[in-house]
């Protein structure tokens, strides 16, 4: 048997729910051509682990403590470009798909599919294909691009816990008047009535 045939795909798995992480690691580890070389539950640990283990593929959840999977995908593109990134998430939101592609991910899958499909997606990604959940791709096309600017996203993100304008201004280092302008613009673009509705709408679409 050749050395090349024995070569297993090295996989880094980032998932904050321990039971889900363990189950995915166990199931993928049963594949003859795959090996889980790192498991992390915090987004801040993804890049250091990846640099240490040099995985071929990184499977990243989006909503992690610390850096999000989308931020980590961009980190990996910059520091470990040979690593193929697949986003694996519970939240099939159109805006997340666009942001994942912009961050350099080569795949985007929702977690409710069978593990056989995930293993096949990993192999396709390694072969240079882009692997995207078909229903999500259609939804992303119909939803259109994210209408919010980076500053509007920053201000909305700072408003998620019901913070006052003064609190938000302090967090994002802007004047209260400028914060009000950005909030007003975001409310208009999301077609909502107030900042909390705008936050919910932006999250629902994956724009935050």
User: What values do phi and psi take at 12, rounded to 5?
Assistant: -100, 135
**Greatest extent of the chain over all pairs of C-alpha atoms, in Å:** 69
77 pLDDT more than 70: yes
Output the average pLDDT for the chain.
Answer: 88
For the chain, list the domains and their CATH numbers: 3-141 (3.40.50.2300), 150-204 (1.10.10.10)
Higher pLDDT, 31 or 98: 31
The model's pLDDT over 144-188, given as tens digits with 9 standing for 90+, comes to: 678 889 899 999 999 988 889 999 999 999 999 999 999 999 999
Region 39-57 average pLDDT:
97
201 pLDDT more than 60: yes
Residue 115: what pLDDT?
A: 82
CB 195 within 8 A of CB 163: no
6 pLDDT more than 70: no
Reported confidence tier of residue 3, pLDDT bands at 50, 70, 90: very low
The model's pLDDT over 91-146, given as tens digits with 9 standing for 90+, comes to: 767 678 888 888 899 998 888 778 888 999 999 999 999 998 877 776 666 566 78
Residue 49: what pLDDT?
A: 97
CA-to-CA dists, residue 128 to 109, 122, 131, 145, 193, angstroms: 16, 10, 9, 25, 44
């Amino acid at each position: 048997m050749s050395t090349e045939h024995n070569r297993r795909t090295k996989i880094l798995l980032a998932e904050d729910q321990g039971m889900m992480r363990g189950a995915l690691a166990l199931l993928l580890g049963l594949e003859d051509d795959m090996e889980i070389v790192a498991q992390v539950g915090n987004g801040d640990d993804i890049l250091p682990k990846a640099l240490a283990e040099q995985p071929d593929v990184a499977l990243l959840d989006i909503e992690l403590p610390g850096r999000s999977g989308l931020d980590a995908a961009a980190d990996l593109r910059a520091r470990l470009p040979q690593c193929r990134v697949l986003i694996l998430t519970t939240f099939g939101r159109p805006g997340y798909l666009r942001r994942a592609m912009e961050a350099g991910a080569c795949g985007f899958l929702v977690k409710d599919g069978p593990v056989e499909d995930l293993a096949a997606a990993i192999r396709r990604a390694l072969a240079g294909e882009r692997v995207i959940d078909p229903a999500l791709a259609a939804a992303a096309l119909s939803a259109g691009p994210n209408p919010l600017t980076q500053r509007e996203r920053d201000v909305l993100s700072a408003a998620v816990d019901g913070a006052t304008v003064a609190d938000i201004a302090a967090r994002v280092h802007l004047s209260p008047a400028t914060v009000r302008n950005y909030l007003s613009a975001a409310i208009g673009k999301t077609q909502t009535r107030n900042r909390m509705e705008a936050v919910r709408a932006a999250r629902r679409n994956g724009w935050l």
